Structure 1
Amino acid sequence: MRFKMLKVCLSIMLIASVAALAACSSKNNESKTSPSASGTQPASSSSGAPSEAKKEPIELVFFYPVAAGGSIREVFDALAAQFNEEHGPDITVKNVFSGSYQDTLVKVKTGVMGKDSPDLTLLSSTALFELLDMDAIMPLDDLIAKDGGDAYVNDFYEAFLANGRTEGQLYSIPFQRSTIILYYNKDLFRKAGLDPEKPPTNYAELVEYGKALTKDGTWGLEITATDFIQWMFHAFALQNGKNIMNQDGTEMYLDTPENVEALQFWKDMIYEHKMMPTGATAWGTIPTDFISQKTAMMYHTTGNLGTVRNGATFDFGTAFLPAGKQYGTPVGGANLYIIKGLPQERQDAAWTFIRWLTEPERMAQFSIDTGYVAATKSSYDTETMKKFTAEFPQFLTARDQLEYAASSFSVHNQGEITKVFMSELQAAIVSNADPAESLKKIQKAADEALKQYHN
């Protein structure tokens, strides 16, 4: 009897143990297939041992501006679609058109302050110090060191890298870059008895040609007196032998004899030589004036080369900006920045997108599609670029002019200084104010705004 009772007890214990094991096994299996607190699902290897957790998909928010004509928004949308097809669902990009360069800067700064910023942004290369002043961007050196290193960085033209560097660190990658170039109407040159294959190369020729071309309702030359007026003045300053700021963004040099002379020459083309229109000639309308032959020459960004090529019904050429004491132009356009404070996986994802955008073939095609200068040397070695420039040699003007280019106007407290800079330049150009007085007022404002950055 005892033996029977013992067997019954053992049976009950065995059944209970099996049930407990089954319950435990069920719980363990459930933990492997249920989402974790972070939303990821740990994967299992074929041996049953846990392997590396599968990463959550990342959607990057990317702000980009448009500062030239044409269909640049469509170009960016096509790039995002291609990237998402190649890298999704692990990494995808959500494009956000953010207006002009200034609009984009305001939106990025507002987003950073409100902790609702994009992950990365295409923004004016001159915004470096403003973004550093509010601790908004991260240096890219560690990401570069892990992926490309010096070989990657050295492929970019130095004139484009300069605006992204300070104190030994690189904070942005050149992408949508430009310089100011001279566009000229070869048909109107012929009508004026000028050689269409010999654009003006110096100030004396510029005045001579400009006066000869000003007739029949057409101006000889147009230069903006509104947006980017400070960019244009910087070109004249460089051509006359004097830069307007130091590389660290802590000092400006405006009321110098060389710069007064440069601004006076600009004014003389309007008021003495009468080869340019008076008034506030607008940045956005100048390419339209050139295409409609209301002006025979224009100073404008190479970023509008695609617009002119598609719109002009006449033979046109491009050339270096005419030299004063020397050739010179500031670079322009936008760089790629990663916002500071992102988790490492989002930094890595943003860097993946930047590296993808700046591959030689892709940068070459972006340059062809928009007119902006391809920022890397290797882009010009691609068959795509070689074929295009063989058919359209005007496209190489901006790249070749980089030999004489300098970094664009970029300083601390730039927003505050730019307001006075633009206002006083407009006073000189539009209202015929004294150049020396205008530059003295800008210098005073700059000194005040930058004094906290002096050692």
Structure 2
Amino acid sequence: MAGPLARFIEAYVADFTKRNPDIEVKTVFGGNYEENQAKVVAAIKAGSPPDTAILLSQQLYTLLSLDAIEPFDAYIAKDRELQQAVADFFPAFMMNSTLGGKVYSLPFQRSTPILYYNKEAFKEVGLDPEKPPTTWDELVKYAEKLTKRDDQGRVVRYGVAIPTEDRSTWLLEGLTIQAGGLLYDPQGEGCKVLVNTEAVRQGMQFKRDLAAKYKVSPEGVIAWGTTPGDFAAGKVAMIYHSTGSLGFIRNNARFSFGTAFLPRKVRYGVPTGGANFYLFKGSDPAKREATLRFIKFMVSPEIQARWSVDSGYVAARRSSWSLPLMQEYLKQWPQALTAREQLAYARAELPVYNLQQVKDIIAEAEQAVVLGRKDVRTAVREAQARVDQALAPYCRK
């Protein structure tokens, strides 16, 4: 986290310390998800883990392999407030939080990817601004109409942009689900990743075709970080991005925009995303009660509602959505409902050992396809072999 998101967190921490003057909270902002994970792992290996950290929910297997975390169950069993929280979280957000019947993390900064679209651009080309594309085929047809060129034939507005993040498989997971597959075996116990499959091939090829075949998307790798800005600036009419970007787009787009489910191929579907609170072995036991009080405050319905309004992330508690703050927000920004409603079609985000190396391998293969350096069958076959090798040290039985 950085910028406005960090300031929001600091404001919540300040409110907590006002209500709990006997507790001092020291916040450390570690950068993006990967950077923050690396810093926490370094602290664990140095024997000085944090009391709690907000890390990707899908990091569960990696943290277990380090013997670094403890489950919440013993605390939940004797704490009515924690029991209520676990029952109140959207089930989709608990998919990556539990394993073997134990609760290893609590949702905080949660999301799904959604479609953002420029309603004024839709009107300009004769599309109904209240009817976004619902299928991959419709997405292509809409994007062809929305792509705008100048007199010299240069593109001044692309129809669609689906980012290809350097170290992430998130949007590829969504395309894979929409094509009828999954990037992992749910029964694989963190050890079976399904790269060399038809659904993954279709997802990668679709991203390639949007630029190379249909000419409706920028050539090459589309950067995650700049895509919301390009949308807000009118350089692209539709984007796939996190609901967590809603706050930025809300504040920067100078046009009416809509949000929608990601289009389907054979079904709707997205991975959940974002980060949860974890408890670490080896942190000061005397601080545990204070740590739990802080976590309960941060995942409370009230703070989850504030966080959603402030940032655009999904309020992870169902009860948050009935609070007056959220009700007023939704009257002004009904776009915030899209990610919540899409949870009905959500799947767990890639849960696997050695997570970052596995994601790097798959992302590298995806980029090779998007850039036209490898055909999709070769890319996924080679990636599958490398992923299996990366998992082998963790998954020998």
SS in 1 for 2:109: strand
Name the SS for the 1:91 alignment partner: coil
2:34 to 78, 92, 102: 102
Contact 1:126/1:163, CA 8 A, preserved across alignment: yes
Do the aligned residues in 1 keep the contact of 2:85 with 2:317 (CA within 8 Å)? Answer: no
Structure 1 vs Structure 2: percent identity of aligned residues? 40
Is it true that 1:76 corresponds to 2:18 in the alignment? no
SS in 2 for 1:92: coil
Farther-moved stretch of structure 1 (204-213 vs 112-121): 112-121
Post-superposition Cα deviations, 1:223-273, rounded to whole Å, max 9, x if no partner, equal: 112346411110000001111113421111111122212222222111111
Q: Which residue of the partner structure matches residue 91 of structure 2?
A: 158
Residue 375 of structure 2 is matched in structure 1 by 434
Structure 2 unaligned blocks of 5 or more = 150-155
Measure the CA separation in 2 of the matches of 1:411 and 1:401.
24
Pick from 372, 375, 381 the counterpart of residue 313 of structure 2. 372
**In the alignment, what sits opposite 1:185?**
118
1:128 correspondence with 2:78: no
CA distance 1:214–1:264, shift in 2 (3 Å): same
Q: Are the counterparts in 2 of residues 160 and 174 from structure 1 also a CA contact under 8 Å?
A: yes
How many corresponding residue pairs? 387
1:377-415 deviation digits (Å, cap 9, x = unpaired): 001011111111022111100000000001111200112
Name the structure 1 match of 2:180. Answer: 241
Q: Distance in 2 between matches of 1:255 and 1:106?
A: 29
Deviation, 1:205, is 0.8
Q: In structure 2, what is the equivalent of residue 176 of structure 1?
A: 109
User: How big is the shift at 1:166?
Assistant: 1.4
Aligned equivalent of 2:44, options 112, 128, 131:
112
| Deviations, residues 55-100 of structure 1 (Å, cap 9, x unaligned) | xxxxxxxxxx45xxx6101101111111111101x21211111111
Q: Which has the higher contact order (CA 8 A, sep 6+)?
A: 2
Q: TM-score, normalised by structure 2?
A: 0.94
Deviation string, structure 1 residues 118-143 (Cα, Å, up to 9, x no partner): 21111111111111111111111111
Match of residue 211 from structure 1:
144
- Opposite residue 383 of structure 1, the aligned amino acid is P
1:61 alignment counterpart: none
Q: Which has the larger radius of gyration?
A: 1
- Counterpart of 1:453, as a letter, is C
CA distance in 2, matches of 1:146, 1:152: 13
TM-score, normalization by structure 1: 0.83
- SS of alignment partner, residue 300 of structure 1: strand
Partner of 2:153: none
Residue correspondence of structure 1 range 182-331 to structure 2 within 5 A: 182-216=115-149, 217-227=156-166, 229-247=168-186, 248-331=189-272
8 Å CA contact retained: 1:279, 1:430: yes
SS in 2 for 1:220: strand
Residues 267, 432 of structure 1: 8 Å contact kept:
no
Deviations 1:335-357 (A, max 9, x none): 11111123433122111111011
Structure 2 distance, partners of 1:179, 1:428, is: 24
Q: What is aligned with 2:347? A: 406
Summarize the Cα distance change of 1:264–1:252 in structure 2 as closer, same or farther, 3 Å threshold.
Answer: same
What is the CA distance between 1:150 and its match in structure 2?
A: 4.1
Q: Is the 8 A contact 1:332 1:408 kept in 2?
A: yes
The CA deviation at 1:416 is 2.1
Structure 1 distance, partners of 2:67, 2:290, is 21
Partner Cα distance (1:145, 1:351) in 2? 13
Q: 1:446 to 1:276 in 2, by over 3 A?
A: same
Provide the C-alpha distance between the structure 1 equivalents of 2:264 and 2:74, rounded to a whole number of angstroms: 41
Amino acid at match of 1:91: I
Contact 1:241 1:258 in 2 (8 A): yes
- The answer to whether the 8 Å contact 1:260/1:439 transfers is yes
Q: Return the letter of the residue paired with 2:27.
A: N
Partner of 2:278: 337
Distance change (3 Å), C-alpha of 1:362 and 1:325: same
Q: Is the Cα–Cα contact under 8 Å of residues 179 and 302 in structure 1 kept in the other structure? A: yes
Contact 1:417–1:442, Cα closer than 8 Å, also in 2: no
Matched AA of 1:145: A
Shift of 1:446: 1.8
Q: How does 1:134-153 map to 2 (within 5 A)?
A: 134-148=66-80, 150-153=83-86
Amino acid at match of 2:69: I
